[in-house]
Structure 1
Amino acid sequence: MRAHRTPIAGVLRIELDLTPNPDGWFKENFHREKLAELGMNVVQHNVAYFEEPGIVRGIHAEPWDKYLSPTSGRVFAAIVELRPGAAFGQVATFELGTADALYVPRGVGNSFCTLAPHTTYNFLVNEHWSPERVAVDLFDPELAIAWPDLPLRYTERDAANPSLAELRALLTA
Protein backbone atom coordinates (compact mmCIF):
# COMPACT_ATOMS: atom_id res chain seq x y z
CA MET A 1 0.00 0.00 0.00
CA ARG A 2 1.47 3.32 -1.11
CA ALA A 3 -0.39 6.55 -0.30
CA HIS A 4 -0.02 9.70 -2.42
CA ARG A 5 -1.31 13.18 -1.59
CA THR A 6 -3.78 14.82 -3.95
CA PRO A 7 -4.68 18.47 -4.57
CA ILE A 8 -7.43 18.26 -1.92
CA ALA A 9 -6.12 18.30 1.65
CA GLY A 10 -6.44 14.93 3.37
CA VAL A 11 -7.55 13.02 0.25
CA LEU A 12 -5.08 10.25 -0.56
CA ARG A 13 -4.78 8.16 -3.70
CA ILE A 14 -3.61 4.71 -2.68
CA GLU A 15 -1.86 2.14 -4.83
CA LEU A 16 -2.65 -1.38 -3.71
CA ASP A 17 -0.46 -4.35 -4.49
CA LEU A 18 -2.32 -6.55 -6.95
CA THR A 19 -0.67 -9.96 -7.16
CA PRO A 20 -1.52 -12.03 -10.23
CA ASN A 21 -2.08 -15.74 -9.74
CA PRO A 22 -3.11 -18.56 -12.09
CA ASP A 23 -6.78 -17.95 -11.31
CA GLY A 24 -6.83 -14.13 -11.46
CA TRP A 25 -5.39 -11.87 -8.75
CA PHE A 26 -5.18 -11.19 -5.01
CA LYS A 27 -5.05 -7.89 -3.17
CA GLU A 28 -4.96 -6.86 0.45
CA ASN A 29 -7.82 -4.37 0.36
CA PHE A 30 -8.11 -3.83 4.11
CA HIS A 31 -5.39 -3.87 6.75
CA ARG A 32 -6.47 -2.38 10.08
CA GLU A 33 -3.03 -1.12 11.14
CA LYS A 34 -2.27 0.46 7.76
CA LEU A 35 -5.62 2.27 7.71
CA ALA A 36 -5.17 3.32 11.35
CA GLU A 37 -1.95 5.04 10.26
CA LEU A 38 -4.14 7.12 7.94
CA GLY A 39 -6.35 7.98 10.93
CA MET A 40 -9.17 5.60 10.11
CA ASN A 41 -10.77 3.13 12.50
CA VAL A 42 -13.12 1.09 10.29
CA VAL A 43 -16.55 0.21 11.76
CA GLN A 44 -18.49 -0.73 8.62
CA HIS A 45 -17.75 -2.27 5.20
CA ASN A 46 -20.23 -1.58 2.39
CA VAL A 47 -20.31 -3.12 -1.08
CA ALA A 48 -22.25 -1.83 -4.09
CA TYR A 49 -22.61 -3.73 -7.37
CA PHE A 50 -23.48 -2.08 -10.69
CA GLU A 51 -24.35 -4.04 -13.83
CA GLU A 52 -23.79 -1.27 -16.38
CA PRO A 53 -21.37 1.56 -17.14
CA GLY A 54 -22.60 5.14 -16.74
CA ILE A 55 -24.21 4.81 -13.30
CA VAL A 56 -23.42 7.91 -11.24
CA ARG A 57 -23.68 8.44 -7.46
CA GLY A 58 -22.94 11.56 -5.41
CA ILE A 59 -21.70 14.25 -4.83
CA HIS A 60 -22.10 13.57 -1.10
CA ALA A 61 -20.03 14.64 1.89
CA GLU A 62 -20.87 12.49 4.88
CA PRO A 63 -19.86 12.80 8.55
CA TRP A 64 -17.34 9.95 8.28
CA ASP A 65 -14.08 9.13 6.55
CA LYS A 66 -14.27 6.77 3.57
CA TYR A 67 -11.84 4.35 2.03
CA LEU A 68 -13.00 3.49 -1.52
CA SER A 69 -11.82 0.74 -3.85
CA PRO A 70 -13.35 -1.22 -6.73
CA THR A 71 -12.91 -4.99 -6.63
CA SER A 72 -14.13 -5.40 -10.20
CA GLY A 73 -14.57 -2.98 -13.06
CA ARG A 74 -13.46 0.65 -13.10
CA VAL A 75 -14.86 3.92 -11.81
CA PHE A 76 -14.34 7.60 -12.50
CA ALA A 77 -14.28 9.35 -9.10
CA ALA A 78 -14.93 13.08 -8.69
CA ILE A 79 -13.93 14.48 -5.30
CA VAL A 80 -14.99 17.97 -4.22
CA GLU A 81 -13.76 20.04 -1.27
CA LEU A 82 -16.94 20.93 0.65
CA ARG A 83 -15.35 21.86 3.98
CA PRO A 84 -15.39 25.61 4.73
CA GLY A 85 -12.26 27.46 3.67
CA ALA A 86 -10.38 28.94 0.74
CA ALA A 87 -10.32 25.63 -1.18
CA PHE A 88 -14.14 25.22 -1.04
CA GLY A 89 -15.31 23.88 -4.41
CA GLN A 90 -11.92 22.51 -5.51
CA VAL A 91 -12.30 19.37 -7.66
CA ALA A 92 -9.98 16.41 -8.20
CA THR A 93 -10.83 13.46 -10.45
CA PHE A 94 -9.41 9.96 -10.60
CA GLU A 95 -9.91 6.78 -12.57
CA LEU A 96 -9.80 3.81 -10.22
CA GLY A 97 -9.30 0.15 -11.05
CA THR A 98 -8.88 -2.87 -8.85
CA ALA A 99 -5.34 -1.85 -7.82
CA ASP A 100 -6.45 1.61 -6.64
CA ALA A 101 -8.13 3.12 -3.60
CA LEU A 102 -8.98 6.58 -2.30
CA TYR A 103 -9.06 7.81 1.27
CA VAL A 104 -11.63 10.62 1.53
CA PRO A 105 -11.93 12.49 4.85
CA ARG A 106 -15.28 13.50 6.33
CA GLY A 107 -16.75 16.64 4.84
CA VAL A 108 -15.18 16.11 1.41
CA GLY A 109 -17.70 15.38 -1.33
CA ASN A 110 -17.29 12.14 -3.22
CA SER A 111 -18.98 10.74 -6.27
CA PHE A 112 -18.31 8.14 -8.91
CA CYS A 113 -19.40 6.92 -12.32
CA THR A 114 -19.06 3.28 -13.34
CA LEU A 115 -16.86 2.88 -16.43
CA ALA A 116 -17.24 -0.86 -16.97
CA PRO A 117 -20.02 -3.41 -16.70
CA HIS A 118 -20.15 -5.52 -13.55
CA THR A 119 -18.39 -3.02 -11.32
CA THR A 120 -18.20 -3.83 -7.62
CA TYR A 121 -17.38 -0.87 -5.40
CA ASN A 122 -16.26 -1.29 -1.79
CA PHE A 123 -16.18 1.43 0.80
CA LEU A 124 -15.10 1.25 4.40
CA VAL A 125 -16.24 3.91 6.86
CA ASN A 126 -15.27 4.88 10.39
CA GLU A 127 -18.79 5.73 11.59
CA HIS A 128 -22.05 3.84 11.16
CA TRP A 129 -24.39 5.09 8.45
CA SER A 130 -26.70 8.01 9.18
CA PRO A 131 -28.80 10.12 6.81
CA GLU A 132 -26.78 13.26 7.61
CA ARG A 133 -24.89 14.58 4.58
CA VAL A 134 -24.06 17.60 2.51
CA ALA A 135 -24.61 17.28 -1.23
CA VAL A 136 -24.02 19.34 -4.35
CA ASP A 137 -25.24 19.16 -7.97
CA LEU A 138 -23.26 16.66 -10.05
CA PHE A 139 -23.43 18.90 -13.12
CA ASP A 140 -22.88 22.34 -11.57
CA PRO A 141 -21.01 24.42 -14.19
CA GLU A 142 -18.93 26.02 -11.41
CA LEU A 143 -17.47 22.58 -10.62
CA ALA A 144 -16.89 21.85 -14.33
CA ILE A 145 -16.46 18.11 -13.80
CA ALA A 146 -15.60 16.39 -17.09
CA TRP A 147 -17.83 13.33 -16.62
CA PRO A 148 -17.11 10.34 -18.88
CA ASP A 149 -18.65 10.45 -22.33
CA LEU A 150 -21.27 7.79 -21.58
CA PRO A 151 -25.04 7.81 -21.24
CA LEU A 152 -25.26 8.70 -17.53
CA ARG A 153 -27.89 7.44 -15.09
CA TYR A 154 -28.35 9.03 -11.68
CA THR A 155 -31.02 9.28 -9.01
CA GLU A 156 -33.67 11.99 -8.79
CA ARG A 157 -32.30 12.77 -5.33
CA ASP A 158 -28.82 13.50 -6.74
CA ALA A 159 -30.32 15.52 -9.60
CA ALA A 160 -32.07 17.77 -7.06
CA ASN A 161 -28.92 18.66 -5.07
CA PRO A 162 -28.15 22.38 -4.69
CA SER A 163 -25.56 24.20 -6.76
CA LEU A 164 -22.17 25.00 -5.23
CA ALA A 165 -23.25 28.65 -4.85
CA GLU A 166 -26.46 27.62 -3.05
CA LEU A 167 -24.53 25.24 -0.80
CA ARG A 168 -21.95 27.93 -0.02
CA ALA A 169 -24.79 30.28 1.02
CA LEU A 170 -26.40 27.56 3.18
CA LEU A 171 -23.13 26.73 4.94
CA THR A 172 -22.28 30.37 5.67
CA ALA A 173 -25.80 31.39 6.77
Structure 2
Amino acid sequence: MPSVKQTSIPGLLQIELDLIETPQGWFKESFQQAKLVDQGFPQVEFVQNNMAYTTEVGITRGIHAEAWDRYISPALGRLFTAIVDLREGATFGRLETFELTPGQAIFLPEGCGHSFCTLEPNTVYTYLLAAHWTPDAPRTMVNLFDPQLAVPWPLPKDQQHYVEADATAPYLDAVTPIRL
Protein backbone atom coordinates (compact mmCIF):
# COMPACT_ATOMS: atom_id res chain seq x y z
CA MET A 1 0.00 0.00 0.00
CA PRO A 2 1.48 3.38 -0.91
CA SER A 3 1.90 5.98 1.82
CA VAL A 4 1.18 9.70 1.43
CA LYS A 5 2.89 12.27 3.64
CA GLN A 6 2.11 16.00 3.85
CA THR A 7 5.21 18.24 3.72
CA SER A 8 5.79 21.71 5.17
CA ILE A 9 4.33 23.19 1.96
CA PRO A 10 0.52 22.92 2.04
CA GLY A 11 -0.70 20.46 -0.58
CA LEU A 12 2.80 19.23 -1.53
CA LEU A 13 2.74 15.50 -0.92
CA GLN A 14 5.54 12.97 -0.73
CA ILE A 15 4.47 9.49 -1.80
CA GLU A 16 6.23 6.21 -1.07
CA LEU A 17 5.20 3.62 -3.66
CA ASP A 18 5.36 -0.15 -3.45
CA LEU A 19 8.27 -1.30 -5.60
CA ILE A 20 7.95 -5.04 -6.05
CA GLU A 21 11.22 -6.78 -6.88
CA THR A 22 10.92 -9.52 -9.49
CA PRO A 23 13.53 -11.89 -10.97
CA GLN A 24 13.44 -9.70 -14.08
CA GLY A 25 13.70 -6.33 -12.27
CA TRP A 26 10.79 -4.62 -10.53
CA PHE A 27 7.14 -3.61 -10.87
CA LYS A 28 5.35 -0.59 -9.47
CA GLU A 29 1.86 0.77 -9.58
CA SER A 30 2.80 4.41 -10.31
CA PHE A 31 -0.62 5.89 -9.73
CA GLN A 32 -3.74 4.21 -8.41
CA GLN A 33 -6.19 6.91 -7.40
CA ALA A 34 -8.39 4.94 -5.01
CA LYS A 35 -5.42 3.66 -2.96
CA LEU A 36 -3.82 7.12 -2.82
CA VAL A 37 -7.07 8.91 -1.90
CA ASP A 38 -7.45 6.45 1.00
CA GLN A 39 -4.05 7.74 2.19
CA GLY A 40 -5.02 11.44 2.01
CA PHE A 41 -4.30 12.22 -1.65
CA PRO A 42 -6.68 14.78 -3.21
CA GLN A 43 -9.31 13.77 -5.75
CA VAL A 44 -7.59 15.02 -8.94
CA GLU A 45 -8.51 14.37 -12.54
CA PHE A 46 -5.32 14.07 -14.57
CA VAL A 47 -5.72 14.72 -18.30
CA GLN A 48 -2.19 14.39 -19.67
CA ASN A 49 0.73 11.99 -19.10
CA ASN A 50 4.24 13.06 -20.13
CA MET A 51 7.60 11.30 -19.96
CA ALA A 52 11.03 12.91 -19.91
CA TYR A 53 14.33 11.18 -20.66
CA THR A 54 17.73 12.65 -19.81
CA THR A 55 21.00 11.11 -20.95
CA GLU A 56 23.45 12.67 -18.49
CA VAL A 57 24.00 13.30 -14.81
CA GLY A 58 23.48 16.95 -13.89
CA ILE A 59 20.67 17.86 -16.29
CA THR A 60 19.00 20.67 -14.32
CA ARG A 61 15.72 22.46 -15.06
CA GLY A 62 13.33 24.79 -13.28
CA ILE A 63 12.22 26.48 -11.10
CA HIS A 64 8.85 26.61 -12.91
CA ALA A 65 5.34 26.97 -11.50
CA GLU A 66 2.54 26.22 -13.91
CA ALA A 67 -1.23 26.52 -13.87
CA TRP A 68 -2.00 22.90 -13.00
CA ASP A 69 -1.41 20.18 -10.44
CA ARG A 70 1.38 17.69 -11.23
CA TYR A 71 2.27 14.17 -10.11
CA ILE A 72 5.91 13.22 -10.75
CA SER A 73 7.62 9.84 -10.39
CA PRO A 74 10.85 8.44 -11.86
CA ALA A 75 10.58 5.30 -13.96
CA LEU A 76 14.35 4.84 -14.11
CA GLY A 77 17.25 6.56 -12.39
CA ARG A 78 17.33 9.20 -9.65
CA LEU A 79 16.34 12.85 -9.46
CA PHE A 80 17.03 15.56 -6.93
CA THR A 81 14.03 17.86 -6.92
CA ALA A 82 13.50 21.22 -5.27
CA ILE A 83 9.99 22.60 -4.80
CA VAL A 84 9.25 26.24 -3.92
CA ASP A 85 5.86 27.53 -2.82
CA LEU A 86 5.13 30.51 -5.07
CA ARG A 87 1.53 30.96 -3.96
CA GLU A 88 0.38 34.03 -2.10
CA GLY A 89 0.38 33.41 1.64
CA ALA A 90 2.47 32.61 4.68
CA THR A 91 4.44 29.81 2.99
CA PHE A 92 5.50 31.87 -0.07
CA GLY A 93 9.16 31.07 -0.74
CA ARG A 94 9.24 27.90 1.39
CA LEU A 95 11.59 25.27 -0.05
CA GLU A 96 11.35 21.47 0.14
CA THR A 97 13.84 19.08 -1.48
CA PHE A 98 13.65 15.37 -2.23
CA GLU A 99 15.66 12.65 -3.88
CA LEU A 100 13.31 10.57 -5.99
CA THR A 101 13.83 7.02 -7.17
CA PRO A 102 11.28 4.76 -8.90
CA GLY A 103 9.82 3.96 -5.46
CA GLN A 104 8.78 7.57 -4.80
CA ALA A 105 6.53 10.23 -6.25
CA ILE A 106 5.51 13.77 -5.38
CA PHE A 107 2.28 15.66 -5.89
CA LEU A 108 2.72 19.38 -6.58
CA PRO A 109 -0.32 21.59 -6.26
CA GLU A 110 -0.80 24.43 -8.71
CA GLY A 111 1.38 27.40 -7.81
CA CYS A 112 4.38 25.42 -6.55
CA GLY A 113 7.59 25.79 -8.53
CA HIS A 114 9.39 22.59 -9.54
CA SER A 115 13.02 22.01 -10.45
CA PHE A 116 15.19 18.92 -10.79
CA CYS A 117 18.74 17.72 -11.27
CA THR A 118 19.42 14.21 -12.61
CA LEU A 119 21.66 12.08 -10.40
CA GLU A 120 22.11 9.14 -12.78
CA PRO A 121 22.54 8.86 -16.54
CA ASN A 122 19.53 7.68 -18.53
CA THR A 123 16.97 8.93 -16.04
CA VAL A 124 13.32 8.69 -17.07
CA TYR A 125 10.44 10.23 -15.20
CA THR A 126 6.74 10.52 -15.80
CA TYR A 127 4.48 13.36 -14.86
CA LEU A 128 0.73 13.56 -14.86
CA LEU A 129 -0.93 16.95 -15.43
CA ALA A 130 -4.36 18.08 -14.28
CA ALA A 131 -4.67 20.40 -17.32
CA HIS A 132 -3.42 20.20 -20.88
CA TRP A 133 -0.01 21.76 -21.46
CA THR A 134 0.03 24.62 -23.95
CA PRO A 135 2.98 26.84 -24.88
CA ASP A 136 1.08 29.98 -23.88
CA ALA A 137 -0.03 28.71 -20.44
CA PRO A 138 0.93 30.99 -17.55
CA ARG A 139 4.31 30.12 -16.03
CA THR A 140 6.17 31.70 -13.14
CA MET A 141 9.93 31.16 -13.05
CA VAL A 142 12.50 31.66 -10.30
CA ASN A 143 16.27 31.60 -10.73
CA LEU A 144 17.81 28.16 -10.09
CA PHE A 145 20.65 29.75 -8.16
CA ASP A 146 18.76 32.36 -6.13
CA PRO A 147 20.89 32.95 -3.00
CA GLN A 148 17.77 33.64 -0.92
CA LEU A 149 16.42 30.15 -1.68
CA ALA A 150 19.89 28.55 -1.42
CA VAL A 151 18.76 25.29 -3.02
CA PRO A 152 21.23 22.63 -1.81
CA TRP A 153 21.99 21.31 -5.29
CA PRO A 154 23.71 17.91 -5.14
CA LEU A 155 26.23 18.99 -7.79
CA PRO A 156 28.25 22.20 -8.10
CA LYS A 157 26.92 24.73 -10.60
CA ASP A 158 29.78 24.03 -13.03
CA GLN A 159 28.77 20.35 -13.19
CA GLN A 160 25.11 21.08 -13.98
CA HIS A 161 23.70 21.36 -17.50
CA TYR A 162 20.97 24.01 -17.51
CA VAL A 163 19.34 26.39 -19.94
CA GLU A 164 20.23 30.05 -19.61
CA ALA A 165 16.59 31.09 -19.13
CA ASP A 166 16.45 29.05 -15.89
CA ALA A 167 19.69 30.57 -14.56
CA THR A 168 18.69 34.13 -15.45
CA ALA A 169 15.06 33.99 -14.30
CA PRO A 170 14.12 36.54 -11.61
CA TYR A 171 15.08 36.02 -8.00
CA LEU A 172 12.30 35.22 -5.54
CA ASP A 173 12.13 38.78 -4.20
CA ALA A 174 11.16 40.00 -7.68
CA VAL A 175 8.42 37.38 -8.19
CA THR A 176 4.79 38.32 -7.68
CA PRO A 177 3.13 35.61 -5.54
CA ILE A 178 0.62 33.54 -7.47
CA ARG A 179 -2.96 34.24 -6.47
CA LEU A 180 -5.20 31.19 -6.94
The one of 147, 154, 160 equivalent to 1:148 is 154
The one of 28, 47, 50 equivalent to 2:51 is 47
Query: What is aligned with 1:76?
Result: 80
Q: Please say if residues 70 and 110 of structure 2, whose CA atoms lie closer than 8 Å, have aligned partners that are also in contact.
A: yes
Percent identity over the alignment is 49
Normalised to the residue count of structure 2, the TM-score between the two structures is 0.90
1:149 Cα deviation after fit: 2.1
The CA distance in 1 between the partners of 2:9 and 2:55, in whole Å, is 30
Deviation digits for residues 139-169 of structure 1 (CA, Å, limit 9, x no counterpart)? 000001110125101112212211101114x
1:24 aligns with 2:28: no
1:39 Cα deviation after fit: 2.5
- 5+ residue gaps, structure 2, are none
Normalised to the residue count of structure 1, the TM-score between the two structures is 0.93
Query: What is aligned with 2:8?
Result: 7
The CA distance in 2 between the partners of 1:56 and 1:46, in whole Å, is 18
CA RMSD in angstroms comes to 1.6
1:77 Cα deviation after fit: 0.5
The one of 45, 60, 64 equivalent to 1:56 is 60
Q: 1:123 to 1:139 in 2, by over 3 A?
A: same
1:139 aligns with 2:145: yes
1:105 aligns with 2:109: yes
The one of 92, 95, 98 equivalent to 1:91 is 95
Query: What is aligned with 1:125?
Result: 129
Q: What letter matches 1:14 in structure 2?
A: I
1:132 Cα deviation after fit: 1.6
1:40 Cα deviation after fit: 1.4
Q: Please say if residues 35 and 41 of structure 1, whose CA atoms lie closer than 8 Å, have aligned partners that are also in contact.
A: no
The CA distance in 2 between the partners of 1:157 and 1:127, in whole Å, is 24
Aligned length: 171
The CA distance in 2 between the partners of 1:166 and 1:83, in whole Å, is 14
Q: Runs ≥4 in structure 1, deviation > 3 angstroms?
A: 32-37
1:38 Cα deviation after fit: 1.8
Q: What letter matches 1:153 in structure 2?
A: H
- 5+ residue gaps, structure 1, are none
